[in-house]
């Protein structure tokens, strides 16, 4: 698909107009994303765009190598792990500085981790810290003490009372939680149990340090609730003090950000672009036009409905130069470098679109509660019914004819071959005859020859409520395709129901569905980042699946010190989940679609974790000039 020059010109003119009140010089690198960051407070981050910017403004103890997702030194230049795997000692580099020149110390991490464990911070990733001795107990204790506090008469809820509770809180944290310092540059974390992927967790942006003095200037105790009120003024441009490779110069809500290299960053010489601009363009078609017009170096998520056709143009280009690309990659070149050396695309081809396998799984959820939200019995409480619906799904047809992004069909939750040493179970096949047998075993057959299944009392199978969210053609099309598969193969009535995202999430949490769309991107490189979704007490277990056997396998894996045996136990847990109980119906792996020209842009990784570090990105002309 070629973009006409007049249209491209109009897009450039539009972007120039939008920047007319923006006196900053043109940035060395410009990326376009569709959604605004929700917060720049590391402990409160939860969305991909937050984490991407967070990695630029903050740095944790450890970072992940973008090319292979392996832990590497961050603020900690080295660390030791005790023989029993339960004590991590991090040695912080002495030249680590905040963007105002203050030294980064071990106390900054203690302060940030304590924030992450305060219920009032509302940190989505508090659970990452629960592996630390006493951390979960502290979180629960603080929650209970706050609940008790608000039950007091209002006359007793005074500033002095709230300060007394806070002193008690800090004392308890210091005495019971396994987070300590031995000097300004040594941090010791004592775990409840060995965690094979713990370094991956501390590399997560939500566990970055924060500048204590800045945060405390925007924090006060609320006498009536006892809670620590943490305002967000410190995250605004002109106030935010970070310790990452960039500093925040400007943030115009829903328009973009402007970042400059942090001259105090310990590795500032390695930052490849002096300035980075993040532009917000919500319209999917306009993001494509911006890339075509040269107004964006990188579009982070291409959502235009015609992206399958664009990817087909990329495949045609690669097919024409298949031998050359293979030869270059055999010599160790990455595909971007190989493609950058080739002649330009011809009509009907392109090389500025990239469909990248991501560390995530697209799925639908079964409601596993005994009763539906209307009080009626839930047929999907029976795992035989869930298996039947899973066996009746033709995943190959879904990816070839519906989503069309080149995804790999998947009948397991943990992406296959994505985690070293982990072997996936077989999962359930596409087998309509077996699906019908499963339904018959559960008591559902076509007893009167009308093409619909009934139970022993002659009652038809309840109309299946198939819930999806508005705003994504992908989920609309998948939902309708699944509806037709289940109607045709199983003899059931299915009704698709669309909700706005906010209402969709509320229905999901409240169990107001039979089957609902879902999906998950892994947060760290271990099977548990996916398997924990089905743990009985996990906050993301919207299906309300409960299995003592499954929980027991996860507990056994957590206690197993032998890495290979641990992964075998986790495989057994996933086999139970995917072949027997099936609370989650996986469909395929996710593909993220980037737009950038590999002849112009360097530094983007294609590793499935997609850990993009803005400090690595540059226009090739700038990189070659040593900027």
Where does the pLDDT of residue 11 fall: very low under 50, low under 70, confident under 90, or very high at 90 and above? low
Amino acid 625: pLDDT: 39
Amino acid 16: pLDDT: 47
Amino acid 4: pLDDT: 45
**Residue 257: closest CA among 461, 19, 510, 11:** 19
Amino acid 621: pLDDT: 75
527-571 pLDDT, tens digit per residue, is 999 999 999 988 889 999 999 999 999 999 998 989 999 999 999
**Does the structure show a pLDDT above 50 at 118?**
yes
**Does the structure show a pLDDT above 90 at 217?**
yes
Which residues have CB under 8 Å from 103's CB, separation 6+?
94, 96, 97, 184
Where does the pLDDT of residue 623 fall: very low under 50, low under 70, confident under 90, or very high at 90 and above? low
15-48 pLDDT, tens digit per residue, is 544 554 567 899 999 999 998 999 999 999 988 9
pLDDT (mean) for 272-294: 96
Which residues have CB under 8 Å from 212's CB, separation 6+?
107, 108, 111
Amino acid 472: pLDDT: 81
What number does CATH give the domain 357-591?
3.10.105.10
**Does the structure show a pLDDT above 70 at 13?**
no
Amino acid 109: pLDDT: 98
| Angle, CA of 165, 168 and 169, to the nearest 5° | 85
How far is the C-alpha of 382 from the C-alpha of 399, rounded, in Å?
A: 28
87-107 pLDDT, tens digit per residue, is 999 999 999 999 999 999 999
Amino acid 230: pLDDT: 95
Asked whether the CA dihedral 609, 612, 613, 616 is positive or negative, the reply is positive
361-412 pLDDT, tens digit per residue, is 999 999 999 999 999 999 999 999 999 999 999 999 999 999 999 999 999 9
Judge contact between 31 and 295, C-beta under 8 A: no
pLDDT (mean) for 608-612: 94
User: Around Cβ 503, how many Cβ atoms within 10 Å?
Assistant: 14
Amino acid 502: pLDDT: 87
Q: Which residues of 582-592 are buried (b: 16+ CB within 10 A; e: fewer)?
A: bbbbbbbbbbb
Asked whether the CA dihedral 21, 25, 31, 36 is positive or negative, the reply is negative
Query: What homologous superfamily is domain 58-236 in, according to CATH?
Result: Dipeptide-binding Protein; Domain 1 (3.90.76.10)
Domains 58-236 and 357-591 share a fold: no
How far is the C-alpha of 526 from the C-alpha of 422, rounded, in Å?
A: 9
Amino acid 446: pLDDT: 92
pLDDT (mean) for 202-220: 97
441-488 pLDDT, tens digit per residue, is 999 999 888 889 999 999 999 999 999 999 888 999 999 999 999 999
**Does the structure show a pLDDT above 70 at 69?**
yes
**Does the structure show a pLDDT above 90 at 3?**
no
Mean pLDDT of the chain: 94
**Does the structure show a pLDDT above 50 at 62?**
yes
Where does the pLDDT of residue 7 fall: very low under 50, low under 70, confident under 90, or very high at 90 and above? low
pLDDT (mean) for 485-494: 97
Crossing angle of helices 473-490 and 432-441, rounded to 10°: 70
**Does the structure show a pLDDT above 90 at 83?**
yes
Residue 427 is encoded by which pair of tokens? 């999962």
How far is the C-alpha of 186 from the C-alpha of 553, rounded, in Å?
A: 35
Phi, psi angle pair for 558, to nearest 5°: -65, -30
Q: What radius of gyration, in Å, describes the C-alpha atoms of the chain? A: 26
Q: Where are the domains of the chain?
A: 58-236, 252-352+596-624, 357-591
Asked whether the CA dihedral 177, 561, 530, 589 is positive or negative, the reply is positive
């Amino acid at each position: 698909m070629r973009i006409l020059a007049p249209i491209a010109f109009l897009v450039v003119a539009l972007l120039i107009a939008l920047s007319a009140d923006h006196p900053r010089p043109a940035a060395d690198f410009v990326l376009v994303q569709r959604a605004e960051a929700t917060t720049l407070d590391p402990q409160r981050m939860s969305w991909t765009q937050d984490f991407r910017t967070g990695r630029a403004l903050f740095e944790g103890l450890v970072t992940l190598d973008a090319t292979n997702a392996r832990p590497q030194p961050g603020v900690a230049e080295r660390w030791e792990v005790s023989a029993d795997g339960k004590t991590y000692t991090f040695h912080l580099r002495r030249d680590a500085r905040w963007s105002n020149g203050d030294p980064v110390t071990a106390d900054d991490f203690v302060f940030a981790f304590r924030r992450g464990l305060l219920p009032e911070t509302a940190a989505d990733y508090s659970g990452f810290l629960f592996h630390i001795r006493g951390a979960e107990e502290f979180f629960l204790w603080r929650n209970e003490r706050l609940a008790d506090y608000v039950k007091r008469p209002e006359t007793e809820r005074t500033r002095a009372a709230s300060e007394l509770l806070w002193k008690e809180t800090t004392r308890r944290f210091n005495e019971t939680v396994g987070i300590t310092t031995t000097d300004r540059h040594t941090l010791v974390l004592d775990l409840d149990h060995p965690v094979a992927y713990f370094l991956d967790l501390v590399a997560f942006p939500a566990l970055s340090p924060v500048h204590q003095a800045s945060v405390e200037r925007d924090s006060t105790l609320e006498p009536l609730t006892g809670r620590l009120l943490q305002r967000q003024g410190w995250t605004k441009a002109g106030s935010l003090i970070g310790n990452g490779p960039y500093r925040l110069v400007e943030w115009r809500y829903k328009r973009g950000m402007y970042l400059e290299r942090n001259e105090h960053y310990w590795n500032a010489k390695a930052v490849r672009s002096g300035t980075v601009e993040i532009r917000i363009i919500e319209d999917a078609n306009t993001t494509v036009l911006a890339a075509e017009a040269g107004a964006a170096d990188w579009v982070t998520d291409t959502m235009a409905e015609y992206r399958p056709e664009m990817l087909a143009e990329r495949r045609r280009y690669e097919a024409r130069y298949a031998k050359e690309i293979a030869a270059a990659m055999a010599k160790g070149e990455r595909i971007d470098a190989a493609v950058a050396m080739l002649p330009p695309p011809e009509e009907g081809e392109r090389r500025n679109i990239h469909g990248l396998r991501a560390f995530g799984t697209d799925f639908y959820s079964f409601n596993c509660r005994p009763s539906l939200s209307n009080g009626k019995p839930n047929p999907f409480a029976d795992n035989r019914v869930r298996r039947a619906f899973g066996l009746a799904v033709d995943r190959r047809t879904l990816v070839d004819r519906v989503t069309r992004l080149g995804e790999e069909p998947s009948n397991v939750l943990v992406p296959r071959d994505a985690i070293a040493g982990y072997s996936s179970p077989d999962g359930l096949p596409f087998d309509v005859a077996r699906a019908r047998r499963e339904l018959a075993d559960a008591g559902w057959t076509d007893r009167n020859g009308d093409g619909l299944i009934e139970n022993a009392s002659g009652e038809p199978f309840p109309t299946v409520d198939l819930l999806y969210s508005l705003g994504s053609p992908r989920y609309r099309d998948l939902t309708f395709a699944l509806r037709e598969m289940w109607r045709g193969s199983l003899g059931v009535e299915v009704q698709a129901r669309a909700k706005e995202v906010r209402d969709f999430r509320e229905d999901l949490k409240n169990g107001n569905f039979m089957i609902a769309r879902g999906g998950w991107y892994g947060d760290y490189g271990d099977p548990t980042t996916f398997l924990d979704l089905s743990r009985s007490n996990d906050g993301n277990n919207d299906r309300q699946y409960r299995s003592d056997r499954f929980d027991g396998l996860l507990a056994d894996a957590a206690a197993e010190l032998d890495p290979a045996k641990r992964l075998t136990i986790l495989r057994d847990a996933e086999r139970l989940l995917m072949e027997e109980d099936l609370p989650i119906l996986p469909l395929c792996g996710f593909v993220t679609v980037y737009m950038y020209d590999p002849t112009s842009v360097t530094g983007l990784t294609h590793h499935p974790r997609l850990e993009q570090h803005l400090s690595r990105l540059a226009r090739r002309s700038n990189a070659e000039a040593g900027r």
